[in-house]
Chain A
Amino acid sequence: MQELKNDTYWILISDQLPDISEASKFVQDPSCGAVNLFTGMTRNHHDGKTVTGLYYDCYEEMALTETKKLLDAISQEYGLTKALLFHKTGEAPVGEISLITALSAPHRKPVLEATEELINQLKEELPIWKKESFERESLWKEEQLLKKKEQQS
């Protein structure tokens, strides 16, 4: 488990995430008219196959520092007041929340745009890996990527 919490940021990388109401409460501020709360959860299908669950492996110390870098850059670019990111590690059964982001700013446009940017960036940068369990096998995403590349060539 890795955590950074101060007046502006709350980052948590853990196998147990707090309730989303805590996330929403943290980013609220009297100067802010907009809070954008996003949750990502395990869905029950991928590429036409039934998914029975996910497992997240994580280089936790680096995930924390990379998240801090992302929040620094995005907060500055969009003028955010507070920012929060929680990411689950370990087992994530279907329907369970594995990602929470919450951003606040005086007006709505920056938080809407910043949320999309943050999620796109975290999918590229955070050292976190997903293993999908299907009905007959469990595969890391990289194994699936390599299979696809082999089929294409």
Chain B
Amino acid sequence: MKISVIYFSILQKITGKRQETIHLEQPGNAEELFEIIAEQYPEIKKYKPYMRVSVNQEYLPFNTQLNPDDEVVFITPVSGG
């Protein structure tokens, strides 16, 4: 299934991309998606301890099961305001 991943801030800097589509061969959760992406961009692993994840624009736990065409954003510590 296809998952849309959008990168912001430092993750955009590391990946060099704003968005990419990841194809999951079998059903998986956000944690597993992160592992797939981290294989491609190992530098993002060091931000993992401080990271949250949003699925379809909502903060959810990393063990959230993903569905086809979900929009996932790995959210490093925010600094608005």
Contacts and interface: CB of A to CB of B under 8 A. Distances in A.
Interface of A: 40, 56-59, 61-63, 65, 87, 98-99, 119, 122-131, 140-143, 145-146
Contacts of A62: 54, 57-58, 73
Label chain B's interface by main secondary structure.
Answer: mixed
Given A123-B79, A129-B78, A57 B47 contact: no
Contacts of A145: 50, 77
Size range of the chain B interface in the assembly: 20 to 34
B44 to A, nearest CB: 11
Nearest to A141: B79
Contact of B9 (A57, A123, A146): A57
B50 A128 contact: no
Given A130-B79, A130-B80, 17 more contacts: A57-B12, A58-B8, A59-B54, A59-B57, A59-B73, A59-B75, A62-B54, A63-B80, A65-B57, A65-B58, A126-B81, A127-B8, A127-B75, A128-B79, A131-B9, A142-B77, A146-B47
